[in-house]
Structure 1
Amino acid sequence: MGQLVVLNLGKGDWSQGCAIVTAQLWVADSLTPMQITGSLPPAPEFTLLYSRWQHLYEALYAHRGWRQVRSANAFEIEDDETYITDVSEAEFKHLCKEFQQRLNAWLSVDSFTKIDRQLRTHLNRTDDIRLIITADDRQLLRLPWHLWQFLEDYPKAEIAVSLPEYTQSIKTDESPHKKVKILAILGNSQGINVAADRQLLEQLPDTELTLLVEPDLESLNQHLWEAGWDLLFFAGHSSSQTVGQIQINRTDTLTLDQLRYGLKKAIERGLKLAIFNSCDGLALAWDLADLQIPQVIVMREPVPDRVAQAFLKHFLIAFSGGRSFYLAVREAREKLQGLESEFLCATWLPVICQNPAEQPPLWQDWCDKREVSKPLKIQTYSSGIVQPKVKFARALLSSIAVTSLVLAVRSLGVLQPLELWAYDRLLAFKPTETPDARLLIVTINEAEIQAQESDQRRGSLSDKTLDRLLQKLDQYQPRVIGLDIYRDFSTSLKYPSLVKQLQQNKRLVAI
């Protein structure tokens, strides 16, 4: 699983600094870690810097016609003419650069360089590195830690954040399934496009997907109690203002505390990852961390549709194709740079919230696959949105072609000899059956034929004998009498009852 670094900032904050910073390094899955200590000085400028960055981030998107209203009761997209619009891209880019420089200057102080130096001594640039940052102060965890120069120098490292208290969750079922079980919640889609998320999930290999489209609380809670979810996915409106909230339909807004028991049971039964492909999700991640979920992916700020969809696409391709969880997130996050000409700071948004007591997942372990699945292939236009029309047209044409071929072969009778041979073989395999009590077979042997008066007999039975036979059988009111005797001559008028039988008895079937 690569190397693990847990960087604990303790009880510090921006204004007071972090008096005790502890870095624990597990090398090559060792049972005991190496521990290094240091400290970080006060950095009160981050309070104003982050607030300014957040304000300009929202203002910039509002100026471009998009922003999510930041209030406890609102989840709609709004174009507010009074909102600040006097922000330029150049000003915002300058602020981003300043943020990066200040963060790296803070992490380059002498009291912290001992940790940085020891990590670089024991880690190689080719190592897969999970770097988990924990802190009591949640504002510290909101920092864009991916800007740390350490990640630039170690291309296979990725940052995750965590609350300081964690433990492994109690699990009752960790056995892999034949397919990855995904519970996907598509909440209120007003003003956003959740259809693209749905199409991406439906194309995943080796999956059993359950979709809840704008469910109510009862339905959502009931599905959480079902056994064996591997991944919980949410797309829709969410917010971390005062408390984490998701809007599951156009009228119902929930906190995760309202799903607490269902979520606990899902984690107990094997839920390993939750993805909230929605706005401002850190408070949701903290609520799930309290329930000891192994890992969560959220967006740290409001996120445009195209950024959320692109991240999900790149992550699912990499993760289902065999990439480790952390490398799949980093690859997907960095690929968002291609959108930053239009959506500034897109690479800042995705963040892993990790329980350090849990191992990160592998896609193939979820579905008991010894070999990595074939990479997910997603058809897109240049906009990056999946196009179902092309897929549907191909399926329709294929169905018409196959149906036409089968009908043509059937009409020509090409398959008939094979069908008859197969039917004959199947009948031969049937077990020996006892005679049916409802059927009576009357046979005529040679002795009985010779016992008749020769002057009256024509064929196997004389008219007199046949008349007696039919009268006797008719006493039992049979539903049908089959006469398998060849008679190429007329019946004698001496036996009018036989003539009547042959002419009028509709239950008699003769050759």
Structure 2
Amino acid sequence: MTKLVVLKVGEGSFEQGFPVTMQIGEEGDSPAIQTLGKLPPAPEIPQYYNRWQSAYLCLGWSTRLEAKPIQVTNVSVIDDCWHAVQVLRNRLNSWLHSESFRSIREKWLEKLLPSDEMRVILQTEDLLLQRLPWHFCDLFERYPKAEIALSGPAYERVKQVSQLKNKVAILAILGDSTGIDTQADRALLEQLPGATVQFLVEPQRQELNNQLWSQGWDILFFAGHSSSLANGDGRIYINQTDSLSIGDLKYALKTAVAHGLKLAIFNSCEGLGLARELANLYIPQVIVMREPVPDKVAQEFLKNFLSTFAGGQPFYLSVREARERLQGLEDQYPCASWLPVIYQNPAETPPLWTALSNQLAVDNSRNYQHPRRSLKKIGLQRLRTILLTSMVATSVIWGVRYLGALQPLELKAFDQLMRLRSHEATDPRLLVVAITEEDFKLPEQKNRTGSLSDLALAKLLEKLEQYQPRAIGLDIYREDAVNPQLQNLAKYMQQSDRFIAVCKISDPTASEDPSVAPPPEVPEARQGFSDVVIDPDGILRRYLVSVNPHPASACSAPYAFSTQLAFRYLAAEGIFPQWTPEGQLQLGDVVLPRLHSHTGGYQTIDAAGFQMLLNYQSSRSPENIANRVTLTDVLRNRVKPDDVKNRIVLIGVTAPSVGDYFATPYSTGRGAYQKMAGVFVHAQMVSQILSAVKNQRPLLWVLPQWGELLWIWGWSILGSLLAWRYRSILHLELALAITVLVLYALCFVFLSQSCWVPLVPSGLALVATSAGVVLQDASQKQEQSKKLYSRSS
């Protein structure tokens, strides 16, 4: 049977002495013995204590007292501290051997055996008496199953509301952690069996207040910076800007006590001020640190205490064992075993962990493992959960993506990233002759609209030839032969090696999109098809470089109109196209990357022919790819020779009435550009090839399939790690939001370097895996609750 010893120290002082009353009884019964005595005057003890405290504070640790670095301790300072310890210890023992205290000492030794399990409560209002290291006294040291606690003279038992629970409810406040590591405290709490822990990380005052009111907590835990003021009051620093006294939480704490709060642990510095204030609220038990406590000491104490207490040991013996094990650190942290102390409400009986969690003691002792051993086991289990969940989520998302379900979203994300790219200069190698609505009114047009009359075309080509362009491309369909009266035009089209005409090779079996023959005067070698590949959402993102035309097509050109113009330009510099053994098109040192059916965000497309991603040149206007003049400008001699010489000249209709316009990635979104005229689309394609060959401008490329899979899986693993790290749903959501922004930024950076990496599937994997881990944790906790409930019942 546990013995209860209460030492009531009455009003007095070290100059006058203190009256002492000792009561001895069985736990739960009224005292059976009461003895009176007195501690004589000892004015030197405060001096010895102050000397020790000064030496202790000069040790130079980084503590949980304040968020500022302290100088490194040297050997002489440590020696001074141990010398002060020895002096204080000897004087304290001499004080307890005084004649006026003999009656209490002799009754103690008479009625209490060294084998007795006992709780000792020192009941006093004097703050210095509470600070003294009573466990050093030989009267206590000979009793290995005893632990001393502190108490004030006034106390009261509060009627608590009984709540049916099968887990210990812990509210853990991780306050200002500047310069210290409160995450180690968190990791220890997270390993507790049969416990539900609600973490508040650097909370605001209102958030903490609300949580104390919200439900029945069994344990209140705080880790962070705290201090005791000169008047004895204590403060906790809940975040980097706010601190609170216990009085600031008076009503919330009273409510928490009424709802079942049994224990408060303040794993922080100078906690006696906090404990004294908490005692006025009649909290049953409080564990605090007497003095400033180093980070390592606080963490080691918490680890050892949780191990023994949750393992089934009585509360007082758990504190004693955890405190005494700190002696192993005293070569680095002198007096570490002095620091933890219990502040007890004498009207209350210390709880057992089994009582708090409503489990059988045998279950606890069998199931609980030492934190260091269980950390390894939990770490391996968590690693398996992370890997398994991430692999499942990645596999599902990869399969859904492979089937094309994510393609619309990926293409929209691609467009948005494209629009964010920095602007580029106009390509000086290109000139566009735009046929506008006003140009249709020229006399040379002979009232012809939607195209060019033979006369207007003849005069236009004549003007351009004078300025010696490197290539001329006519992006206007001309199926009919030239007017016999303009034989010069027919001869030019037949013989000029720099003139490229356009035709259309669409499948002739498709009645809605028939093929269009090239001008009969232009040989096949100088023909180019105008066909483009439009995505299902109507956006032009791909460049059809070459294709094998249908045998029945009226247009048999194997290369695109823009490709032919680029070939003509590069041929003048000795660069000719060639095909690699892998079926890739090579120009000089540049190999054009071929688009396949499962490339990047494209998963369900017809990749027939030689296609590549169209890397639009970004500018304030998408038609700013080339200098622009009108038909009127050329015919009326408003164009300078240098505007044409050695350039590729593209001739096309830009009049809205013709409708030769295409939607591009720049055509969507608020405030976006309008659709792009077909002649400027061809200019974009020509510029893409020339810039890649001549200026080393990167072509758009994607990771190989295995690379994209690893990229998505990496974000999936990161999502599971975030779910493991942040147990609060609010904090997890915030972390996910920040991570998604980082993912978006990285995808933009890669695209700026012309690499298209998966954004949408990676974001889905990130969120889906974190949600999966959260759901698994919830399921496991629910299963554990069922098991615990079945055991307890």
**In 1: Cα distance, 2:371 partner to 2:284 partner:** 31
Shift of 1:135: 1.2
Shift of 1:44: 0.7
Aligned to 1:144: 133
Q: After the TM superposition, which residues 294-313 of structure 1 pair with which residues of structure 2 at under 5 Å, given as runs?
A: 294-313=284-303
**In 2: Cα distance, 1:387 partner to 1:312 partner:** 20
Counterpart residue identity of residue 145, structure 1: W
Structure 2: unaligned runs, 5 residues or longer: 395-793
Whether 1:109 and 2:98 are equivalent positions in the alignment is yes
Shift of 1:266: 0.2
Aligned to 1:275: 265
Q: 1:283 to 1:394 in 2, by over 3 A?
A: same
Does structure 1 retain, via aligned residues, the 8 Å contact 2:170–2:196?
A: yes
Shift of 1:387: 10
Counterpart residue identity of residue 24, structure 2: L
Deviation per CA, 1:371-415, whole angstroms, max 9, x where unpaired? 34135324549xx998986553344456689999xxxxxxxxxxx
Shift of 1:79: 3.2
Counterpart residue identity of residue 345, structure 1: C
Deviation per CA, 1:217-275, whole angstroms, max 9, x where unpaired? 10100000022100000000000023210010111111111100000000011101000
**In 1: Cα distance, 2:243 partner to 2:166 partner:** 34
**In 1: Cα distance, 2:165 partner to 2:251 partner:** 23
**In 1: Cα distance, 2:206 partner to 2:360 partner:** 38
Q: 1:397 to 1:109 in 2, by over 3 A?
A: same
Q: 1:88 to 1:386 in 2, by over 3 A?
A: farther
TM-score, normalised to structure 2, is 0.47
SS of residue in 2 equivalent to 1:174: coil
**In 2: Cα distance, 1:155 partner to 1:229 partner:** 32
Does structure 2 retain, via aligned residues, the 8 Å contact 1:203–1:378?
A: no
TM-score, normalised to structure 1, is 0.72
Q: 1:68 to 1:396 in 2, by over 3 A?
A: closer
Shift of 1:114: 1.4
**In 1: Cα distance, 2:134 partner to 2:219 partner:** 26
Counterpart residue identity of residue 77, structure 1: K
Counterpart residue identity of residue 37, structure 1: L
Structure holding more helix per residue: 2
Q: After the TM superposition, which residues 88-167 of structure 1 pair with which residues of structure 2 at under 5 Å, given as runs?
A: 88-167=77-156
Counterpart residue identity of residue 55, structure 2: L
SS of residue in 1 equivalent to 2:240: coil
Task: Give 1:377's match in structure 2, choosing from 358, 362, 369.
Answer: 369
Does structure 2 retain, via aligned residues, the 8 Å contact 1:203–1:376?
A: no
**In 2: Cα distance, 1:34 partner to 1:309 partner:** 40
Shift of 1:369: 1.6
**In 1: Cα distance, 2:226 partner to 2:156 partner:** 27
Counterpart residue identity of residue 135, structure 1: T
**In 2: Cα distance, 1:150 partner to 1:88 partner:** 30
SS of residue in 1 equivalent to 2:200: strand
Q: After the TM superposition, which residues 433-452 of structure 1 pair with which residues of structure 2 at under 5 Å, given as runs?
A: none
Q: 1:149 to 1:211 in 2, by over 3 A?
A: same
Aligned to 2:43: 44
Does structure 2 retain, via aligned residues, the 8 Å contact 1:14–1:140?
A: no
Q: 1:175 to 1:31 in 2, by over 3 A?
A: farther
Counterpart residue identity of residue 142, structure 1: R
Does structure 2 retain, via aligned residues, the 8 Å contact 1:3–1:29?
A: no
SS of residue in 2 equivalent to 1:21: strand
Shift of 1:121: 1.4
Does structure 2 retain, via aligned residues, the 8 Å contact 1:245–1:254?
A: yes
Comparing 146-155 with 283-292, greater Cα deviation is found at 146-155
Whether 1:191 and 2:191 are equivalent positions in the alignment is no
Does structure 1 retain, via aligned residues, the 8 Å contact 2:64–2:295?
A: no
Q: 1:395 to 1:288 in 2, by over 3 A?
A: same
Q: 1:133 to 1:9 in 2, by over 3 A?
A: same
Whether 1:322 and 2:312 are equivalent positions in the alignment is yes
Does structure 1 retain, via aligned residues, the 8 Å contact 2:63–2:269?
A: no
Shift of 1:41: 0.5
Does structure 1 retain, via aligned residues, the 8 Å contact 2:307–2:371?
A: no
Shift of 1:215: 0.5
Does structure 2 retain, via aligned residues, the 8 Å contact 1:60–1:87?
A: no
Shift of 1:57: 0.4
Whether 1:76 and 2:67 are equivalent positions in the alignment is yes
Does structure 2 retain, via aligned residues, the 8 Å contact 1:238–1:246?
A: yes
Does structure 2 retain, via aligned residues, the 8 Å contact 1:317–1:375?
A: no
Does structure 2 retain, via aligned residues, the 8 Å contact 1:324–1:362?
A: yes
Counterpart residue identity of residue 194, structure 1: T
Shift of 1:87: 4.5
Counterpart residue identity of residue 131, structure 1: V
Whether 1:353 and 2:375 are equivalent positions in the alignment is no
Q: 1:245 to 1:393 in 2, by over 3 A?
A: same
Q: After the TM superposition, which residues 481-492 of structure 1 pair with which residues of structure 2 at under 5 Å, given as runs?
A: none
SS of residue in 2 equivalent to 1:183: strand
**RMSD over equivalenced CA pairs, Å:** 2.7
Shift of 1:276: 0.2
Percent identity over the alignment is 47
Q: After the TM superposition, which residues 496-511 of structure 1 pair with which residues of structure 2 at under 5 Å, given as runs?
A: none
**In 2: Cα distance, 1:43 partner to 1:398 partner:** 67
Aligned to 1:266: 256
Structure 1: unaligned runs, 5 residues or longer: 70-74, 405-511
SS of residue in 2 equivalent to 1:161: strand
**In 2: Cα distance, 1:259 partner to 1:210 partner:** 18
Does structure 2 retain, via aligned residues, the 8 Å contact 1:12–1:135?
A: no
**In 2: Cα distance, 1:34 partner to 1:326 partner:** 22
**In 1: Cα distance, 2:377 partner to 2:54 partner:** 36
Does structure 1 retain, via aligned residues, the 8 Å contact 2:169–2:216?
A: yes
Question: Matched residue pairs, number?
Answer: 392
Deviation per CA, 1:440-490, whole angstroms, max 9, x where unpaired? xxxxxxxxxxxxxxxxxxxxxxxxxxxxxxxxxxxxxxxxxxxxxxxxxxx
Counterpart residue identity of residue 111, structure 1: S
